[in-house]
Amino acid sequence: MKNICVLGAGYVGLVTGACFADLGNKVICLDIDESKIEALNRGDVPIYEPGLAEVLLRNVRSRRLNFSTSYEDALKTAEFVFIAVGTPSGVDGEADLQYVRMAAKSIAKVMDHPLIIINKSTVPVGTGDWVADIIKKHQEEPIPFWVVSNPEFLREGSAIHDFMNPDRVVLGSLHHEAAEKVAQLHLPLRTTIQITDLRTAEMIKYASNAFLATRISFINEIATICERLGADVKEVAVGMGYDKRIGPAFLDAGLGFGGSCFPKDVRALEHMALIHDAHPQLLRAVLDINRHQRRQVVVKLRQMLGGLNERRVGLLGLSFKPNTDDMREAPAVDIARQLHREGAYVQAYDPVSGEIAARILPDIRLAESVYEVAKDADALVVVTEWNEFRHLDMERIRRNMAGKVLLDGRNIWDPEEMAGLGFVYSGVGRGVNMNSSDREGDLS
Ligand code: UGA
């Protein structure tokens, strides 16, 4: 059992704290937001993440997990301090490090024994050195400490599973011994642990996210070409994925990537490249294609409905992806706003993000079910591929709609089946198939 302090009770901090406690360590999660800590102490979980509430509760009950707003309390017995505070996008896509700076200063002022300080927040390359400088500068007396970078690779919606079953753990430090000690904490996860230097570890995080985002933009560009040429991008991705060098993951064409990570991290990497005189042309294209995907839905709808003014458009799903209520950089936000600007009446249904959406999108009407959204709608658009949308009574939906347009932004339905039900169906990258018999006549 080790004593661990986690700074930041946000998404990454809570999952990290809860999971390390579940592995048998004693953990204190600190946040400067008093209302958040009060809520957590009452047993309320401020974010929607499958499985998190159970792990938190289990470990609070067994007294392995505590919450605090006091740095003195949180650092008193800690051997390891994880920094897991937010790094939002600042101007020009640059990561805003004010919370990391505050955390480093506070550690420096309060620490009274040696500490291993592990940075989990996604920070520009070189931040680990900068954190070390801040701590040195603000310490009242020189107490040894070691900085380790430990980038986080978990996904929202499957964060607990991802933490407990990582593909790898990356640790970067100028002090091998400190990295080894952090590696020991991760041994129960039985995974590959890569120990490298600080800056390389920081870059591994950006390069991984940018690469995954690139795959998505790549397949979305292929989707656009498929549409023009009469090929089906879903099948194309399957065929590509069989190649072991390519693999099947992150090849789902759709409305592009959103969330708090990919857009922000690709922009931050682009910014880092620019200020260091590199020419990030691929990263720019990745972002450009991603913006195009969102715009394209509105263009398609306008064409399919013969204009958008006073049309009723229903959106299925609002969160940036299924199994989360997170609306940050969600395609739904841009799409709903544009539809509203063009005079359409927008109504939407999302299984969990309704409340958050109501604040961000005050002009759209939120419904209690898909069937309510479908009633009298001229068009329906799948924005987020929640599992429940795959098992709908599509016949009933078709009957209740005023129009027939079904725009499947996540390719969850079979085009022929939907056409058979009377929908005017359009997916992403699923061109009208011109097989040889259509072109050359039946061979039989
Ligand atoms: C992503 C990474 O997958 C994590 O490894 C990383 O730790 C995290 O960012 C982070 O940096 O904190 P996350 O943003 O939670 O995780 O979500 P993903 O499941 O990766 O999806 C990101 C976006 O890509 C979503 O909008 C999703 O709809 C989109 N996507 C994903 C596609 O459009 N197509 C795909 O094939 C896969």
The label of the residue with tokens 């003014």 reads 309
What residue owns the CA closest to ligand 1's atom 5? 153
Asked whether residue 295 is domain-assigned, the answer is: yes
Examine the domain organization and report whether 245 and 107 are in the same domain: no
> Which pLDDT score, from 0 to 100, does residue 435 have?
44
What residue owns the CA closest to ligand 1's atom 20? 155
What residue owns the CA closest to ligand 1's atom 6? 153
Examine the domain organization and report whether 260 and 305 are in the same domain: yes
> Which pLDDT score, from 0 to 100, does residue 442 have?
47
Asked whether residue 328 is domain-assigned, the answer is: yes
Task: Among 157, 172, 195, give the residue marking a domain's end.
Answer: 195
CB 305 within 8 A of CB 405: yes
CA of 134 to the centre of ligand 1 (A): 32
CATH number where 253 lies: 3.40.50.720
What residue owns the CA closest to ligand 1's atom 9? 261
According to DSSP, residue 387 is labeled G
Is residue 261 flagged as an active site residue?
A: yes
What is the Cβ-side half-sphere exposure of residue 15, based on CA atoms within 13 angstroms? 24
pLDDT tens by residue, 100-127: 999 999 999 999 999 999 999 989 999 9
Examine the domain organization and report whether 296 and 382 are in the same domain: yes
CA distance 413 to 417: 8
Q: What percent of the chain has pLDDT over 70?
A: 97
Which protein residues touch ligand 1 with a CB less than 6 Å away? 122, 152-156, 209, 212, 216, 250-252, 254, 256-259, 261-262, 320-321
> Which pLDDT score, from 0 to 100, does residue 91 have?
76
CA of 267 to the centre of ligand 1 (A): 15
pLDDT tens by residue, 406-434: 999 999 999 999 999 999 999 999 986 54
CA of 167 to the centre of ligand 1 (A): 15
Examine the domain organization and report whether 18 and 136 are in the same domain: yes
> Which pLDDT score, from 0 to 100, does residue 432 have?
67
Tell me the best of 89, 122, 211, 262 to mutate to test the pocket of ligand 1, counting ligand atoms within 8 Å of each CB and taking the most.
Answer: 262
Q: Which of 19, 29, 226, 261 is catalytic?
A: 261
Examine the domain organization and report whether 264 and 297 are in the same domain: yes
Asked whether residue 440 is domain-assigned, the answer is: no
pLDDT tens by residue, 18-59: 999 999 999 999 999 999 999 998 889 988 899 999 999 999
The radius of gyration computed from the CA coordinates of the chain, to the nearest angstrom, equals 24
Asked whether residue 52 is domain-assigned, the answer is: yes
Return all residues near 274 (Cβ < 8 A) that are at least 6 apart. 280
What residue owns the CA closest to ligand 1's atom 24? 257
CA distance 33 to 48: 18
Look at residues 77, 73, 79 and name the one whose alpha carbon lies nearest to residue 106: 73
CA of 78 to the centre of ligand 1 (A): 32
Q: Does pLDDT of 339 surpass 60?
A: yes
Number of domains in the chain: 2
Range of 236's domain? 210-426
> Which pLDDT score, from 0 to 100, does residue 148 have?
98
What does the pLDDT average to over 284-302? 97
CA distance 400 to 404: 10
Examine the domain organization and report whether 217 and 93 are in the same domain: no
Examine the domain organization and report whether 282 and 343 are in the same domain: yes
Examine the domain organization and report whether 191 and 275 are in the same domain: no
Tell me the best of 154, 160, 323 to mutate to test the pocket of ligand 1, counting ligand atoms within 8 Å of each CB and taking the most.
Answer: 154
CA distance 161 to 183: 19
CA distance 103 to 121: 11
CA distance 169 to 188: 12
According to DSSP, residue 320 is labeled S
Q: What percent of the chain has pLDDT over 90?
A: 90
Q: What separation in angstroms does the CA of 78 have from each of 75, 102, 110, 189, 391?
A: 5, 19, 12, 21, 49
End-to-end CA, the chain: 73
CA distance 147 to 134: 12
Tell me the best of 205, 211, 216 to mutate to test the pocket of ligand 1, counting ligand atoms within 8 Å of each CB and taking the most.
Answer: 216
- 208 by Cβ neighbours in 10 Å (0-12 / 13-18 / 19+) ranks as middle
Q: What separation in angstroms does the CA of 238 have from each of 221, 242, 322?
A: 16, 7, 21
- 76 by Cβ neighbours in 10 Å (0-12 / 13-18 / 19+) ranks as middle
- pTM for the model stands at 0.94
- What is the three-class DSSP state of 96? coil
Asked whether residue 202 is domain-assigned, the answer is: no
Amino acid at 92: D
Examine the domain organization and report whether 167 and 61 are in the same domain: yes
What residue owns the CA closest to ligand 1's atom 2? 155
Asked whether residue 127 is domain-assigned, the answer is: yes
**Counting atoms of ligand 1 from 1, which one is nearest the CA of 158?**
15
Q: What separation in angstroms does the CA of 206 have from each of 222, 241, 263, 435?
A: 24, 23, 11, 42
Examine the domain organization and report whether 158 and 133 are in the same domain: yes
Look at residues 125, 31, 126, 27 and name the one whose alpha carbon lies nearest to residue 69: 31
The interaxial angle of helices 281-305 and 198-229, nearest 10 deg, is: 30
pLDDT, the chain, mean:
94
| Bridge partner residues of 95 (DSSP) | 89
Examine the domain organization and report whether 66 and 105 are in the same domain: yes
Asked whether residue 441 is domain-assigned, the answer is: no
Asked whether residue 216 is domain-assigned, the answer is: yes
Examine the domain organization and report whether 271 and 347 are in the same domain: yes
pLDDT band at 436 (very low <50, low <70, confident <90, very high): very low
